[in-house]
Amino acid sequence: MIRTLSFFFLALCILAPSACTSQAPIEITKKINGVNFVSPPAPISLDDISPVQEIRANWIAIIPYAFTNPAQAQVSFGNETGHWWGEKPSGVKVLLAHAEKLGLKVMLKPHLWVLGQGWAGDLSFATDVEWNRWEKDYMRYILTYAQMAESYHCDMLCIGTELRHSVKKRPHFWEELIRQVKSIYKGKLTYAANWDNYTHIPFWKELDYIGIDAYFPLSSKKNPSPNEIEEAWKPICKELKRFSQKNNAPILFTEYGYRSIDYTTKEPWSSVNVASSLGNDKAQTNAYEALYETFWAKEWFAGGFLWKWYATSMLQKRPKPTGYSPQGKKTVDLIQEYYHQSQ
């Protein structure tokens, strides 16, 4: 059950942000209630996306994955072999058209999958030659979708996701990437930093949102209550507010989510052994509730994109009862209530 006091406070913040705090540099009048949409392997219809409206989402992140071969320092994307339909420019354009028909705002959010290791956060190279080769490909990748974002009037573009070593070791590359993106694309920009790395990004003031993939560890309990999880969020929330004010930009959770599984708030980023773990829809729902209660009323918090949402036809073929998707679970009802109340 949603707490009435929380929504009174939310309404107060939306109608009169100064009533929430006298120091906040940011005023958010409408939350980004978003979903990260899984790129489908084959063409889909409008009906495959339309259920996002049922949970009152107003944004959708469309994710054209690319692949990096670390041994060759290359990035492959687009029409090259091995990519799903929804990861190719032709498929992305269809998804953008579907989103427009549904009245959804769009964040175009390129991701990298690193062959042999998966997570892009571990990607690094030993020599300048390798870095330069990779950066040339990555620049081409991002600028391709910057042009598409401009042509299709996307509301936001994410220029990278969790590339911690690249950002740390090659800051000049990111400065140039941002400069070139801005010469093409005139919409809002963000970057998706990992939860433990967002303070080390040197270019936040060049972007519109401080993007964070919010998989913060919160509790080692099997099934903590919403109140217990909220207590764990308090120091994190305080730091995020300070960081937002320091950089004069709102915090955006470019990803947030929890598996429907025991101990889901212990290491929310981990998807290891999902299939064999014990299902726990209540734990997922508690984690979502605590996150919404902690952040959605804050005037410096822009909103976020839950991880993750499947096309209806894809979900039917790939059921994941203990996975991240809230579809087909009680958590959907909770999301719908919060997203509805925060519009």
pLDDT tens figures, 29-51: 689 999 999 999 999 999 999 99
- Cα 127 to the center of its chain, rounded Å: 31
CB 51 within 8 A of CB 335: no
Q: How many Cβ atoms from other residues are within 10 Å of residue 183's Cβ?
A: 10
Average pLDDT over residues 292-320: 89
Q: How many Cβ atoms from other residues are within 10 Å of residue 275's Cβ?
A: 9
pLDDT value of residue 6: 44
Average pLDDT over residues 177-198: 98
Retrieve residue 316's tokens. 């039917």
The dihedral sign for the CA sequence 292, 190, 120, 48: positive
Distance CA 235, CA 80 (A): 45
Average pLDDT over residues 158-179: 97
Categorize the per-residue pLDDT at 185 as very low, low, confident or very high, splitting at 50, 70 and 90.
very high
Residue that wins the pLDDT comparison between 130 and 25? 130
What architecture is domain 29-341?
Alpha-Beta Barrel (3.20)
What confidence tens digit (pLDDT) does each residue in 75-101 have? Answer: 999 876 678 999 999 999 999 999 999
Whether residue 208 is predicted with pLDDT greater than 60 in this model: the reply is: yes
Share of residues in the chain with pLDDT > 70 (%) = 87
Whether residue 271 is predicted with pLDDT greater than 80 in this model: the reply is: no
CB 54 within 8 A of CB 336: yes
Virtual torsion, Cα 134, 108, 272, 213, nearest 10 deg:
90
Contacts of 144 (CB under 8 A, 6+ apart): 77, 78, 89
Whether residue 207 is predicted with pLDDT greater than 90 in this model: the reply is: yes
Whether residue 129 is predicted with pLDDT greater than 50 in this model: the reply is: yes
What confidence tens digit (pLDDT) does each residue in 47-79 have? Answer: 999 999 999 999 999 999 999 989 999 999 987
Average pLDDT over residues 214-243: 97
* R_g over Cα of the chain: 19
Considering the chain, what is the average pLDDT of its residues? Answer: 89
pTM, full prediction:
0.90
pLDDT value of residue 23: 41
Residue 112 CB-density burial (10 A; 0-12 exposed, 13-18 middle, 19+ buried)? buried
Whether residue 224 is predicted with pLDDT greater than 60 in this model: the reply is: yes
pLDDT value of residue 231: 98
Distance CA 268, CA 229 (A): 13
Retrieve residue 166's tokens. 């690249």
- Of 331, 334, 324, nearest to 255 by C-alpha is 324
Distance CA 17, CA 331 (A): 29
Distance CA 116, CA 323 (A): 22
Domain boundaries, the chain: 29-341
Distance CA 7, CA 2 (A): 8
What confidence tens digit (pLDDT) does each residue in 101-121 have? Answer: 999 999 999 999 998 887 898
pLDDT value of residue 100: 97
Distance CA 81, CA 149 (A): 23
Whether residue 20 is predicted with pLDDT greater than 50 in this model: the reply is: no
Q: Does 246 sit behind a cis peptide bond, omega within 30 degrees of 0 on the bond before it? A: no
Virtual torsion, Cα 49, 55, 59, 63, nearest 10 deg:
-50
Lowest-confidence segment of 13-22, 169-178, 235-244, 265-274 by average pLDDT: 13-22
Q: Compute φ and ψ for 182, nearest 5 degrees.
A: -65, -25
Retrieve residue 206's tokens. 């060049």
CB 40 within 8 A of CB 62: no
